[in-house]
Structure 1
Amino acid sequence: MAGSRRSTIARAHRLASRCVSIAIGMLVPGFLGYWLDGRLGSGPVLLLLGFAFGFTYGLWQLINLAKQREPSQPNNEQDAE
């Protein structure tokens, strides 16, 4: 029982840490673009590029995370029988 609980907690921690790193990866390029726009006086160009890059990166990471999670999901059709 303790071993299965620990593995569940470990999996939850791993997933939470992955989600936080994805969120940071989505936001940091935009804020970096905002800072560079302020330093270079280039308007919101780098801000928009940064958030576009961050969004693309985050979406790619979420798709990869979903692909990794698919095999471990239980088949609900078999459970219903």
Structure 2
Amino acid sequence: MEIKEAVKFLKKYTDDEVYTCKCLTSHSMAISALEKQISMKPVFVHPLQFDDCGDYMCSSCQKGSVLDPYGNKPDYCHYCGQKLDWSDL
């Protein structure tokens, strides 16, 4: 089963009239964790003041630069844990 299939399946079972609060909370947590494993492209923000390569932020949380201090591109956002897709960037 693919991650996107699992998320779609779990979202079907979020009816608060049928399931307990504990069940809904666990489904919600599972959906959130699975969605973070689906690669998302970072968003180009702006060129840095002294560097023309620019900067990137997570398209999921949009909290700030996802590049490390050396300009390396991490596999996951260090703010929210979203998996990042650097292909074609």
TM-score range, shorter chain: 0.3 to 0.5
| Greater C-alpha Rg | 1
The structure with higher relative contact order (CA 8 Å, sep 6+) is: 1
